[in-house]
Amino acid sequence: MAVCVAVIAKENYPLYIRSTPTENELKFHYMVHTSLDVVDEKISAMGKALVDQRELYLGLLYPTEDYKVYGYVTNSKVKFVMVVDSSNTALRDNEIRSMFRKLHNSYTDVMCNPFYNPGDRIQSRAFDNMVTSMMIQVC
């Protein structure tokens, strides 16, 4: 289950971060923050590779004993980071991909809203609902 979902802006500040309340949120915030380094590493490694969907999805960034952190970066260097519980029977890769795709779509919808200023925190209810569904459903 996605215990934590975060949307990081290009400048590496969070646009949206949400964790399941049961856990210590600070821990997840820290994990997401540290995962940014891994994301940057992977982005630079890609180099001039064609940006196709597969490369948008970074895959498993790093596993810990309890959690796995997955990353996804858009063409505009907006990063999505998802922390899933390791105890969950390993989610298939394509499921993670589809989750990121949904995230990306919802993010696009938020962007399309003229009342949203890029760089603001994401306060869209639709986005929240989508993330909630993701956090509940996957578990």
Partner 1 sequence: MEGLTLSDAEQKYYSDLFSYCDIESTKKVVVNGRVLELFRAAQLPNDVVLQIMELCGATRLGYFGRSQFYIALKLVAVAQSGFPLRVESINTVKDLPLPRFVASKNEQESRHAASYSSDSENQGSYSGVIPPPPGRGQVKKGSVTHDTVQPRTSADAQEPASPVVSPQQSPPTSPHTWRKHSRHPSGGNSERPLAGSGPFWSPFGEAQSGSAGGDAVWSGHSPPPPQENWVSFADTPPTSTLLTMHPASVQDQTTVRTVASATTAIEIRRQSSSYDDPWKITDEQRQYYVNQFKTIQPDLNGFIPGSAAKEFFTKSKLPILELSHIWELSDFDKDGALTLDEFCAAFHLVVARKNGYDLPEKLPESLMPKLIDLEDSADVGDQPGEVGYSGSPAEAPPSKSPSMPSLNQTWPELNQSSEDTAIVHPVPIRMTPSKIHMQEMELKRTGSDHTNPTSPLLVKPSDLSEENKINSSVKFASGNTVADGYSSSDSFTSDPEQIGSNVTRQRSHSGTSPDTAAPPPPPPRPQPSHSRSSSLDMNRTFAVTTGQQQTGVVAHPPAVPPRPQPSQAPGPTVHRPVDADGLMTHTSTSPQQIPEQPNFADFSQFEVFAASNVNEEQDDEAEKHPEVLPVEKASDPASSLRVAKTDSKTEEKTAATAPANVSKGTTPLAPPPKPVRRRLKSEDELRPEVDEHTQKTGVLAAVLASQPSIPRSVGKDKKAIQASIRRNKETNTVLARLNSELQQQLKDVLEERISLEVQLEQLRPFSHL
Burial label, 55 (beta-carbon count in 10 A; 0-12, 13-18, 19+): middle
59: left (phi over 0), alpha (psi -120 to 50) or beta: left
Q: Is 108 in the site for partner 1 (CB under 8 A)?
A: yes
Q: Is 136 in the site for partner 1 (CB under 8 A)?
A: no
Q: How far is CA 83 from CA 13, 72, 86, 118, 123, in A?
A: 17, 12, 9, 24, 21
Q: Is 84 in the site for partner 1 (CB under 8 A)?
A: no
Q: Is 109 in the site for partner 1 (CB under 8 A)?
A: yes
Kindly indicate which of the ranges 1-9, 28-36, 63-71, 87-95 contains the residues binding partner 1, using the contact rule CB under 8 A: 87-95
Q: Is 105 in the site for partner 1 (CB under 8 A)?
A: yes
Q: Is 130 in the site for partner 1 (CB under 8 A)?
A: yes
128 vs 104: CA distance, rounded Å: 13
Interacting residue ranges for partner 1, rule: CB under 8 A = 50-56, 74-75, 92-95, 97-98, 101-102, 104-106, 108-109, 112-116, 123-126, 129-130
